[in-house]
């Protein structure tokens, strides 16, 4: 998924269409019956970023359908109500009002978007006391200090950059160039590389190289980067731009190791860069969808059964992981399923292992389940996992 901003660019989002309605949350209602758990989400199923919203929705939906076919969560079927917000924050607020006030959801689960999700916080978290679990997106300010009812499973972009810096240092890089888009959100992520590189490789240096957002002609960019003679490049770019960089680098015979954060580890990068992506290294939020791991095989099988026509790619696996982690924690609740009982379950959840994402642990003071990432590399035209999940050095 290509980032869209710390609040708007970086941590993309997804959502749905709806009206209004005052809401209440946490009480026993249709959302917490003996036979059904009603939860909701917003996704961009239409519009400019539907290419991200559709597969992520498909992955989560496939997991919920599989669980329902197996009997649900402790005998309760999941009723996951998803609405299309066309990636619009204002529409997302209206959707949130409908989900809480009319559909009586007990929680928002596995939705997507930083700016879109944050726009709903006053109504959903503060007024209605309805929790938001496992939203793809987020910022450090969401979790420091922790917000009541908000729990995340996505390693922050800043920590992804820290992981790349540590990886490049371990590989022996001495002169790293961080090629990044120029909006502030990308700059903030790029800023994390130098301090961590200094810790992991004290003799190494890192320099930033800004590029105008949505640049399509990377010929002059690569020429300038090549002239600086780095021995490694870290790409903090959207997937199409990372692919353009890799293609142009191959054309110009610039072959130093290239690393990218999670948005660059996408099927679109492989499609657009073709053979130029071979050897490209990146970090991801989940294991490679091509892995032979049984948990990943289960994902591919479920996608084939419940999401026919959708590619079992990284973005779909993001959705699958978010849905699976919610179910694993919801299964620990004894008695009524309410907003409060789910929140309590998250605060007590430790070592939640979905098999496809890092092991998650939460507490009353820690609402972000992980800082870990998975190394992946393009080999034989596809991303494959390199080692196991690892936690990068602390930033700052």
- Phi and psi of 168, rounded to 5°? -60, -40
Cis before 145 (ω within 30): yes
Closest CA to 282 of 186, 104, 107, 163: 163
Which CATH class name applies to 36-155+293-365? alpha beta
Which CATH class name applies to 157-284+375-390? alpha beta
Bridge partners of 208, per DSSP, are 178
Low-confidence ranges of the chain (pLDDT < 70): 1-32, 396
Distance CA 210, CA 225 (A): 11
* Domain pair 36-155+293-365 / 157-284+375-390, same fold: yes
Kindly report, residue by residue over 262-316, the tens digit of the pLDDT: 999 988 899 999 999 999 999 999 999 999 999 999 999 999 999 998 999 999 9
Closest CA to 385 of 296, 255, 273, 291: 291
- Strands 205-211, 175-181: pairing is parallel
pLDDT of residue 4: 37
pLDDT of residue 28: 37
Distance CA 313, CA 298 (A): 13
Q: Scanning the structure block, which residue is given the tokens 């290419």?
A: 51
**Domain ranges for the chain:** 36-155+293-365, 157-284+375-390
Distance CA 305, CA 5 (A): 35
pLDDT of residue 104: 96
Residue ranges of the alpha helices (H) in 276-391? 294-306, 314-330, 339-348
pLDDT of residue 30: 37
Closest CA to 20 of 93, 121, 81: 93
């Amino acid at each position: 998924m290509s980032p869209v901003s710390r609040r708007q660019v970086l941590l993309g989002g997804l959502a749905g269409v709806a009206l209004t309605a005052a809401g209440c949350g946490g009480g026993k209602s249709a959302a917490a019956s003996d036979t059904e758990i009603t939860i909701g989400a917003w996704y961009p199923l239409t519009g400019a970023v539907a290419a991200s919203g559709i597969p992520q929705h498909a992955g989560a939906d496939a997991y919920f359908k599989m669980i329902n076919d197996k009997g649900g969560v402790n005998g309760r079927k999941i009723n996951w109500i998803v609405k299309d917000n066309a990636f619009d924050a204002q529409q997302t607020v209206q959707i949130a009002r409908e989900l809480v006030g009319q559909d009586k959801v007990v929680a928002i689960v596995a939705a997507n978007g930083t700016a879109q999700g944050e726009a709903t916080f006053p109504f959903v978290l503060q007024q209605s006391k309805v929790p938001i679990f496992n939203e793809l997106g987020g910022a450090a300010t969401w979790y420091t200090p922790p917000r009541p009812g908000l729990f995340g499973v996505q390693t922050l972009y800043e920590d992804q950059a820290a992981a790349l810096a540590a990886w490049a240092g371990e590989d022996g890089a001495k002169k790293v160039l961080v090629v990044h888009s120029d909006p502030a959100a990308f700059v903030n992520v790029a800023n994390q590389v130098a301090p961590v590189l200094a810790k992991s490789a004290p003799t190494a240096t890192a320099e930033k190289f800004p590029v105008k957002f949505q640049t399509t002609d990377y010929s002059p960019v690569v020429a300038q980067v090549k002239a600086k003679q780095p021995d490694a490049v870290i790409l903090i770019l959207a997937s199409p731009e990372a692919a353009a960089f890799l293609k142009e680098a191959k054309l110009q015979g610039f072959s130093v190791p290239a690393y990218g954060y999670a948005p660059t580890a996408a099927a679109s990068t492989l499609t657009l860069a073709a053979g130029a992506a071979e050897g490209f290294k990146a970090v991801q939020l989940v294991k490679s969808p091509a892995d032979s791991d049984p948990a990943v095989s289960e994902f591919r099988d479920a996608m084939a059964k419940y999401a026919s026509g959708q590619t079992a790619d990284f973005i779909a696996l993001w959705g699958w992981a978010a849905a699976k982690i919610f179910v694993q924690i919801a299964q620990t609740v004894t008695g009524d399923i309410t907003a409060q009982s789910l929140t309590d379950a998250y605060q007590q959840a430790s070592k939640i292992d979905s098999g496809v994402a890092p092991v998650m642990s939460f507490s009353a003071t820690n609402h972000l389940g992980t800082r870990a990432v998975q190394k992946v590399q393009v080999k034989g035209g596809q991303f494959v996992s390199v080692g196991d999940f690892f936690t990068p050095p602390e930033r700052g």
